[in-house]
Amino acid sequence: MALSCFTSALLRIGGRAPQKIVFAKNTGREFMLDFHPAFDGKGATEFSEPVPFRLTRNLHAFFTPFGVKGDFVAAMAAAAQACSAPGTNLEAQLLLFFRDQLTVWPWRRMSSSSGNSSGASLLGPSPAEIRRMARANVDEVLKRLPCVAPTPPRQNAPPHEQFASVQKGVLHLVDAAVNPKNLARMEPTWAAWL
């Protein structure tokens, strides 16, 4: 669940309603259905939800506060650290992911909503435009990653920095996800009470 939440926050994948989350009874594994970002008219990821991922009161109670601030945060921070480590091929994987997502995005609906009725616009963007949009989305993800990844304190840092949590980016995301005000701002179909 922590890895799914990390991916949802990093790639700005919203709409994590209960009907899109499936648990295997025999293994306990979690499967996410309909797991893709929403794009605006320019092909950029569009995220309008006040919570970065699904961690409702019931999930928080199930994991217990110690589990959330312990294993859950540690797993998210470890994933962030692994993704930001030198030598990873995260950028290439993200380029493939966004290129594929932009290729299958329903361009007809977007072009018809903009009022453009020319036949060429119904074909969607060119491969070069898709690559440009994918690159812009990857750059945005790579800008967000250092904000979440653990940062060890600097040597000779002031005392308030030396004792700050290395997982402060993940803790900030968790605090936003469990904030009752943010949960109350979600759509009713999101079922924040589950």
Write phi, then psi, for 163 (nearest 5 degrees): -100, 10
Reported as a single tens digit per residue, the pLDDT across 27-52 is 988 888 888 888 887 888 888 889 99
Kind and range of the H or E element at 21? strand 21-23
Query: In this predicted structure, which of 85-99, 154-168, 175-189 has the lowest mean pLDDT?
Result: 154-168
Q: What is the tens place of the pLDDT at every residue in 56-100?
A: 999 999 999 999 999 999 999 999 999 998 888 999 999 999 999
Rg of the chain on CA atoms, in Å = 19
Residue-wise pLDDT for 67-77, tens only, equals 999 999 999 99
Q: What is residue 120's predicted lDDT score, i.e. its pLDDT? A: 46
**How much of the chain, in percent, has pLDDT values that exceed 90?**
45
Q: Which residues contact 91 (CB under 8 A, 6 or more apart)?
A: 138, 142
Q: How confident is the model at residue 122 (pLDDT cuts 50, 70, 90)?
A: low
C-alpha dihedral, 20 to 21 to 23 to 24, nearest 10°: 40
pLDDT higher at 80 or 123: 80
- Residue 120 or residue 22, greater confidence: 22
Q: Which pLDDT score is estimated for 164? A: 55
What pTM does this model have? 0.81
User: Per-residue DSSP letters for 26-80?
Assistant: TT--EEESS----B-TTS-B----SSSS---HHHHHHHHHHHIIIIIHHHHHHHH
DSSP letters spanning 73-103: HHHHHHHHHHHHSTT--HHHHHHHHHHHHHH
- Taking each continuous run of H as one helix and of E as one strand, the counts in the chain are 9, 2
Give me the helix-helix angle, 2-11 and 168-178, nearest 10°.
90
